[in-house]
Amino acid sequence: MPKLEVISKFTLALASSVVLFLSGISLPPLGVIAFPFVAQPVLLFGLKYGFTGSIGILCVAILFFVVFGTKELALVYGVFAALASLLLVFLGRIRAIEYLVVVIATVMLGTAGIIALQSYGSWALMSQDVQRGLTEQVMSAIRMQETMGLSADSLDLLKTQMPLMIDRIVQLLPALVFLSFAIIILINILYLLRRFPERRGQWFSLESLREWKAPEQLVWALIACGFILFIPGLGAIRNVALNLLLVIGAFYFAQGLAVIGFFFAKNKVPRFLRGLTYVLIVFQQIFTVLVVGLGLFDLWGDFRRLRKDKLTSHAS
Residue 28 falls inside a structural domain:
yes
Same-domain pairing of 99 and 110: yes
Q: 3-state DSSP call for residue 217?
A: coil
Residue 38 falls inside a structural domain:
yes
Same-domain pairing of 48 and 73: yes
Residue 151 falls inside a structural domain:
no
Residue 277 falls inside a structural domain:
yes
pLDDT of 280-309, one tens digit each? Answer: 998 888 999 999 999 999 988 888 887 765
Q: How far apart are alpha carbons 68 and 157 in whole angstroms?
A: 46
Instruction: Give yes or no for residue 150 having a pLDDT over 70.
Output: no
| Residue partners of 177: CB distance under 8 A and separation at least 6 | 109, 112
Same-domain pairing of 234 and 104: no
Instruction: Indicate the number of domains in the chain.
Output: 2
Cβ(294)–Cβ(256) under 8 Å?
A: yes
Same-domain pairing of 300 and 181: no
Same-domain pairing of 92 and 194: yes
DSSP state at residue 96: S
At which of 190, 205, 220 does a domain end?
205
Which pTM value belongs to this model? 0.89
Q: How far apart are alpha carbons 89 and 305 in whole angstroms?
A: 34
DSSP state at residue 207: S
Residue 134 falls inside a structural domain:
no
Q: 3-state DSSP call for residue 91?
A: coil
At which of 189, 205, 221 does a domain end?
205
Residue 129 falls inside a structural domain:
no
pLDDT of 28-79, one tens digit each? Answer: 777 778 899 999 999 999 999 999 999 999 999 999 999 998 888 899 999 9
Residue 88 falls inside a structural domain:
yes
Q: What is the DSSP code string of 226-263?
A: HHHHTSTT-THHHHHHHHHHHHHHHHHHHHHHHHHHHH
Neighbours of 156 (CB within 10 A): 10
What's the distance, CA 172 to chain centroid?
Answer: 15
Same-domain pairing of 195 and 215: no
Q: Point out the least confidently predicted range of 138-152, 171-185, 225-239.
A: 138-152
Residue 170 falls inside a structural domain:
no
- Residue range(s) defining the domain that contains residue 239: 208-316
Same-domain pairing of 199 and 233: no
Same-domain pairing of 238 and 186: no
pLDDT band at residue 254 using 50, 70 and 90 as cut-offs:
very high
- Percentages helix, strand, coil for the chain (3-state, rounded to 5) are 85, 0, 15
Same-domain pairing of 46 and 193: yes
pLDDT of 210-248, one tens digit each? Answer: 889 999 899 999 999 999 988 887 778 889 999 999 999
Closest to 83 measured CA to CA, from 189, 175, 205: 189
At which of 187, 205, 223 does a domain end?
205
Same-domain pairing of 194 and 214: no
Same-domain pairing of 217 and 251: yes
Same-domain pairing of 109 and 184: yes
